[in-house]
Amino acid sequence: MRPFKELDPVIHSQLRLAVISLLTVVEVAEFTWLREQTEATAGNLSVQISKLKEAGYIDVVKKFSNNYPQTLCRITPLGRKKFAEYVEALKDYLNP
């Protein structure tokens, strides 16, 4: 039996997986929109986004729009690659 690939611990977390799943489809997303879609608290989402950013899986840009602060998130090529690897590893678990 071939060994299972380890699931990336950065992605293998409920909220971080949700965030990175959303960001694989959208080109860029606002923090508030991510919070609505994931139904997470602002604090928890902020922590998880920071972890994804530290790992280099997403980019975070803070700017102002109509004098209001705006946080935009975008998946990086590394993040996209790691998500694809995660999905492949997941398939192994589900279809051994």
Partner 1 sequence: METNEKVLTGDESLQIISEMINRTKVNIRQGSFHLLFWGWLIFFCSLGEYLLVRLTDLRDPWLIWLLVIPGVFVSLIYGYIKGKSSPFHTYADMLYMWTWMGFMIAAIVLFIIISDRIESVAPFILTLAGIPTFISGFIIRFRPLIAGGLSFWALALVSYFAGPAAAPLAVPAAMLTGYLLPGYLLKRKVDHEAV
Please report, as ranges, the residues that interact with partner 1 according to CB under 8 A. Answer: 7, 12-15, 17-18, 21-22, 24-30, 32-33, 37-41, 44, 65, 87, 90, 93-94
Structure-token pair, residue 14:
């409920």
Structure-token pair, residue 40:
């997470």
State the nearest-atom distance from the C-beta of 15 to partner 1, in Å: 5
42 vs 78, which CB is nearer to partner 1?
A: 42
SS3 7: coil
26 vs 53, which CB is nearer to partner 1?
A: 26
30 vs 59, which CB is nearer to partner 1?
A: 30
State the nearest-atom distance from the C-beta of 31 to partner 1, in Å: 9
SS (H, E, C) 42-84: HHHHHHHHHHHHHCCCEEEEEEEECCEEEEEEEECHHHHHHHH
Contact (Cβ atoms closer than 8 angstroms) between residue 12 and residue 82:
no
Residue 58 carries which side chain, given as an amino acid letter? I
State the nearest-atom distance from the C-beta of 8 to partner 1, in Å: 11
